[in-house]
Amino acid sequence: SNTPVKVAVTGAAGQIGYSLLFRIASGALLGPDTPVQLQLLEIEPALKSLEGVVMELDDCAFPTLAGVEIGSDPNVIFDGANIALLVGARPRTKGMERGDLLSANGAIFTGQGKALNDHAADDIRIGVTGNPANTNALIAMSNAPDIPSERFSALTRLDHNRAISQLAAKLGVPVTEIKKMTIWGNHSATQYPDLFHAEVSGKNAAEAVGDQAWIENDFIPTVAKRGAAIIEARGASSAASAASATIDAARDWIKGSAEGDWISMAVASDGSYGVPEGIISSFPVTTKNGDWEIVQGLEIDDFSRGKIDASVKELEEERDAVKELGLI
Ligand code: NAX
């Protein structure tokens, strides 16, 4: 149809926003035949800078961009939104304790959860990129009782893409040969990128690598600490790759994952794989018609069990902390 899809983006004047908005507007999210209306949320002091970004969006004359609205009130910006990409968050600054970070973000994501609950369209899908992404998604979800919990997800697609890229480089194969990659757990240094269920040209990836030491001492920490390596090299955190992963995640959610493959998404656990119900943890999922389903029946050996449990434990601690702060 020709009715524009309303895509809300928060933190729109930030670094990820500067890459993300142009990709969405050019059709990378919904394709060349679907007009999009961008609804951009920023804090008051960043609105002037956001106006400059909107001038640049205008200057691209994207055929798929039907309109742009900006503002600092989530109740206005989320009105009628079909997709909300929650990118804006309060970054951890020097000397900030984890509790401070959780409460600063708690204020943002409780308010945005309520605003989505009251104003978003009935078919809303919400992807959280802003960190701590899993727990921010949990806070938003808990403050939006009228939105089904399956409509919330947190981004682990960047970690997923990083894992594919590292494995492809190790084996000297194109990324297209790699399927069924999984990130388990939290989008943090405890995440577990799993090669034991991944496939390379149809064969088991861990067997193709044939080197447990590389998996444990090289692959897993390289993927888990890639964000820090980018900061070290670039002097700024990953932005274009984070925007690209945000697009991949939302596009596959809406359009469906590929036949014979799966993707990683952090979603509300139903208890699968021993992950406590309700926490937002990353799983292998397939998607179809805007819904996701956790891939079932994978055998989890002791090594993987330990890695998944460690990351899930961190998520439970974050959940307990935000519960104590009265945010959920
Ligand atoms: P920036 O600091 O460049 O941009 C964030 C923007 O959010 C700022 O313009 C700020 O004004 C805005 N903002 C803050 N509070 C807001 C609110 N209440 N409503 C609307 N906007 C608000 O950060 P950027 O590099 O763009 O990163 C954004 C977030 O993504 C950060 O939390 C970052 O940690 C997180 N990331 C998550 C990744 C993931 O894979 N899940 C990877 C990349 C990135 O580190």
- Ranges under pLDDT 70 in the chain: 1
Radius of gyration of the chain (CA): 19
Any atom of ligand 1 within 6 Å of the Cβ of 137: no
Determine if ligand 1 sits within 6 Å of the CB of residue 132.
no
Q: How far apart are the first and last CA of the chain?
A: 38
How far is Cα 172 from Cα 179, in angstroms, rounded to an integer?
A: 15
Ligand 1 atom 6, closest CA: 11
pLDDT for res 1 = 58
Tokens 């142009």 — which residue? 22
**11 and 17 Cβ atoms separated by less than 8 Å:** yes
By the 8 A CB rule, do 325 and 102 touch? Answer: yes
What is the Å distance from ligand 1's center to 146 Cα?
Answer: 26
Binding site annotation covers 13? yes
Look at the block and give the residue holding tokens 């993987």.
304
CB 249 within 8 A of CB 157: yes
Q: How far is the CA of 24 from the centre of ligand 1 (A)?
A: 17
CB of residue 133 inside a 6 A radius of ligand 1: yes
Supply the residues annotated as catalytic: 187
Structure-token pair, residue 23:
């990709």
Q: Please tell me the predicted confidence (pLDDT) of residue 180.
A: 98
- Residue 12 CA to ligand 1 center (angstroms) comes to 8
Burial label for 302, CB within 10 Å (0-12, 13-18, 19+), is exposed
